[in-house]
Amino acid sequence: MYYTEIINDNSSFLYLYRKGKKLFSDNAVIYYRKNKCPFNRLGITAGKKVGNSVCRNRAKRIIRQAYRENELKLPIGFDIVIVARSSICNIKSQIFSEYLKNTLICALEKEI
């Protein structure tokens, strides 16, 4: 990921859950908020409700690949957390990539 750092600390996740704006879909919930950094920060979560470890890891792989495909199109300077839902295990990464391209990019460009 070229312009992205990974969010690891729990306080950043909790801050985005409380203060960030939300996008809902059948496959994921996306929280985003503008930051003051010259790069994006990404966090991905898949809880136990998504399924067993195989399903959770597949969900994270799908999200990572879809983000990678759209990373250069995203505006810079945002914190993004993507929370997987159980239905994401049954789709291909191209479907989620189209969702990110159509919905997330438009929402982030409105924030600028």
Domain ranges of the chain: 4-111
Share of the chain above pLDDT 70, in %: 99
Report pTM.
0.93
pLDDT of residue 102: 93
Tens digit of each residue's pLDDT (9 = 90 or more) over 67-84: 999 999 999 999 999 999
Average pLDDT over residues 4-8: 94
Beta strand extents in 1-112 (DSSP E only): 4-6, 21-24, 28-34, 40-45, 78-84
As a whole number, the mean pLDDT across the chain is 93
DSSP symbols for 39-57:
SEEEEEE--GGG-SHHHHH
- Give yes or no for residue 112 having a pLDDT over 90: no
User: Of 3.90.25.10, 3.30.160.250, 2.60.40.10, 3.30.230.10, which CATH number belongs to 4-111?
Assistant: 3.30.230.10
**Per-residue pLDDT band at 59 (split at 50, 70, 90):** very high
